[in-house]
Structure 1
Amino acid sequence: MTKKVLIVDDEPNILILMEQALEKLEDEGVELLTATNGEEALEAIQTEKPDLVFLDVMMPKMNGFDVCNTVKKELQMQDVYIIMLTAKGQEFDKQKGNDVGAYLYMTKPFRPKTVLEKSIEILGLSISD
């Protein structure tokens, strides 16, 4: 069964950065998917059922908190790991991320290596450098 990672961000440069950071996963057969707003993200999560979602907080149409809340609380998709990405690293935001069911909260700018390491860990892959 192919593992899938969904990257959601409305900034094209962040999407590219994330895809580059996770390139190694594709060598392991992991499929990388992208979405550029909250509605697209929700649709992709329901149809593709990704194992891991990197979800931007500030987005058009539906913010990351709302997407996460819908996935976890309404759709009851507990097996989807959601990592919130945000430029705002205040405790309040982190708490809100936890409240809606996010697995982890990463502040931008993030280190690509950290993103890759977390992904490998969550997906249960063993990749050597």
Structure 2
Amino acid sequence: MKQPDNTRRKPPEHLPIILFADWLVNGQTGLSSMSIVSHVTGNPCHGFFKGLPNDFAPLDYGDFDRCVRLIKAVPLVRPHLHVMRDVSDEWKRIIDRFDELETAYKDTDGEDADSRRRFSTLLSSIRHPDNEGTK
């Protein structure tokens, strides 16, 4: 007789919040980058969100820029980004196409409004594929 599988799936390993201390104090933070910190550390960040949900996905170039800056500041985040796939459908689509977005981000001239707008349109089309990139 086959024994039932009583093993439980081990929760994803969380990163220690202390790794983010310098970024939290000195970095450029935003709701989407703080959402990443919240989920990869397992800390709800109640003080920062002040009652808001912590599932904010980047809306535009500036938001994505802050997420990339977070990853540069704390490189250990990158292998943990997969946890964001479970946060929302928008995050799932962003993480599934993160390499494409990161390449487009690197090709964007952050000083040029048209360049930032093109990136934001791509990001919006990924977040909301049914709207074909419109906000």
TM-score by length of 2: 0.33
Larger Rg: 2
TM-score by length of 1: 0.34
